[in-house]
Amino acid sequence: MSLSLLTSCLPTFPVDTAAVLGGAWVGADLPESRAAWPRQCLQTPVLAPHPLSQECWVLQGALPVHAGESEGIAWRRGGDLLFGVIAIDEATVTAQAPHTPLQQAAFGAYARIFRLLDAQGLPHLWRLWNYMADINGESQGLERYRQFNMGRGDAFEAGARSVVGRVPAACALGVASGPLTIAFMAGPTPIVPVENPRQVSAFLYPDRYGPRSPTFSRAAVAHPPGQEILFVSGTASIVGHQTVHAGDVRAQTAESLDNIVAVLGEASAKSRSGAYALGDLGYRAYVRHPADLDTVRDVLESRLGGAPVVYVRADVCRSDLLVEIEGQALRGLPA
């Protein structure tokens, strides 16, 4: 069995649906029909190279794929790999003060995810994709991203999971509207966490960034049978714990890439498959202002050596950040 990631700009995938573990749909319009596999749907414009982007994690091999639904999570499992998607409409959440609806939704979503992992005997989260509406907005005196971090961190602790050190790779972005939606990949073995020597680890941020620090590693290395996957979390123009180059999208994009280079250096030292360079990954770049697309693309194309990039309109977790970049690479391991 091996895992691959396919990307398509078409509304359908030329692939055997029985072999699909899960995936994502990103575009201004939602799909007309429900997919046969767990699919995270993000109704936000794709700025380039096409107006629609679909990602599909596909299993190769004779292993059967099992599907199910658990507490609102659509999931599929192939061997010891699990992919799931959950979406929670905040309007349906009854929150008790001092908790906000988003905080309660985040806690509830992660609590359900942890119960599913325990039931499947696959306790280790590898990668998470988190999206919510109005991420930089404020309610009840607290920015919504910080509310999300409180609910997520509380769920990790309630589920007896660590909130520092060996935590999964992740991103958290804002879209114009829609539910809190979380996609995840999990497996039987812990990830190898990767941090950035240029940055304070996100889970150790000072309290000026909120009552709870974010719960993610800068990157994670995972090892399905015979493979290595490098997940690089959403990466922005932060040095230490502070935003740098406020208002300068070109400099922020370059700084984000400098941070990814530093992460790849650390990941290379922990890799079983050899060193990683910028051109070895596929990327998704989140751009706050569509007018900045040409500048962001110019910087990335000059440094990524032809590596594939999908550009998406989204809000980054800090209001002064203009761009965020994430990536992944899949490799086979020597027999």
Q: Tokens 């015979």 appear where? A: 226
Catalytic residue among 228, 255, 324, 326: 324
Token digits of residue 213? 């620090």
Domain CATH number, residue 16: 3.30.1330.40
β-pairing verdict for 2-8 and 20-27: unpaired
Token digits of residue 149? 């971090």
What's the rounded Cα separation, in Å, for the pair 218 and 235?
A: 8
Stated pTM of the model: 0.97
Structural domain containing residue 115: 2-332
Q: Does residue 324 carry a catalytic annotation?
A: yes
Query: Considering only CA atoms, which of 187, 267, 167, 131 is closest in space to residue 3?
Result: 187
The pair phi, psi for residue 82, each rounded to 5°, is -130, 130
HSE of 221 in the Cβ direction (CA atoms, 13 Å)? 23
HSE of 71 in the Cβ direction (CA atoms, 13 Å)? 11
Domain count for the chain:
1
Token digits of residue 191? 């990830």
Beta-carbon count within 10 A of 134 CB: 16
How many residues are present in the chain?
335
pLDDT in tens, the chain (335 residues): 689 999 999 888 878 888 999 999 999 999 988 899 999 999 999 999 999 999 999 998 867 899 999 999 999 999 999 999 999 999 999 888 889 999 999 999 999 999 999 999 999 999 999 999 999 999 989 999 999 999 999 999 999 899 999 999 999 999 999 999 999 999 999 999 999 999 999 999 999 999 999 999 999 999 999 999 999 999 999 999 999 999 999 999 999 999 999 999 999 999 999 999 999 999 999 999 999 999 999 999 999 999 999 999 999 999 999 999 999 999 999 87
